[in-house]
Chains A and B, each alone.
Chain A
């Protein structure tokens, strides 16, 4: 069974948007999310495959509405809540 992320060959996503001289990240928080995920995996909090799986299991409507790093953030939060890591304020 395919998930929402399995878009190869689908139609309807429109034309490409190609940004000239695009920076590595479009906002500081995107870079922070990138770094957080790397360190959480390196520190053994979760595994990279679990992270991918969690991104792919986001509710389809949320997945399509979110930007790339918003998906990452949602997956990180989901994994941390599942493990009860860093969720207490």
Chain B
């Protein structure tokens, strides 16, 4: 049976596998639909943006977030328990002289619940291999040109650990509400391949 894999289009191969597992009672169609719907609906960079907006607005929350992110997330109605297993989260803050960026050199570990599904480039061999060797050049390819005296720390995720970047609050945003601040935050800012 394995021998036919190469000749069967991948979509048909997946459909067959799914049908076999449903017929055998190993998985339920309703289970599959529910998992996918929950991920597509609940896992979005809006979650990460909300965390950042709160941290920019509330110094106490910021301190708690940086000290123990898992314990602080419930304050904004989020948690790291939503996936298959709870992950340890560390939030790393950018400063005027220090920038942070995330990678998973081994594969694709990523805070999906806070950022949504990861982009293809994050999972690519090019990004995984290069960002730990030449982060400044990689960030420049994203259009993020950091001064030479800005230190860059690359955080390599693992099976049990996840990271999230806390970008610097942009100048001139003093009067903005939390939702307005959250709207400024991008997925790339939360990964560290953009400033905000």
Contacts and interface: CB of A to CB of B under 8 A. Distances in A.
Interface of A: 5-19, 22, 24-29, 31-36, 38-43, 45, 48-49, 52, 55-56, 64, 68, 70, 73, 76-77, 80-81, 85-89
B2 A77 contact: yes
Given A41-B84, A52-B159, A17 B119 contact: no
A30 to B, nearest CB: 9
Contacts of A43: 26-27, 31
B5 A18 contact: no
B108 interface: yes
Closest 5 CB pairs of A and B: A8-B105, A29-B11, A24-B117, A13-B125, A29-B14
Given A29-B10, A68-B108, A86 B21 contact: yes
Interface of B: 1-2, 5, 10-11, 13-15, 17-18, 20-21, 24, 26-28, 31-33, 35-36, 39-40, 84-85, 103, 105-108, 116-117, 119-121, 123-130, 132-133, 138, 141-142, 156, 159
A14 B126 contact: yes
A24 B132 contact: no
Contacts of A7: 105, 125, 128-129
Contacts of A85: 21, 24, 26
Contact of A8 (B24, B126, B156): B156
B17 A39 contact: no
Which of A34, A36, A48 gathers most chain B CB within 10 Å? A36
Nearest to A14: B126
A28 B40 CA distance: 13
Contacts of B116: 24
A8 B119 contact: no
A29 B11 CA distance: 5
B132 A8 contact: yes
A40 to B, nearest CB: 7
Given A18-B141, A64-B125, A89 B20 contact: yes
A25 B6 CA distance: 22
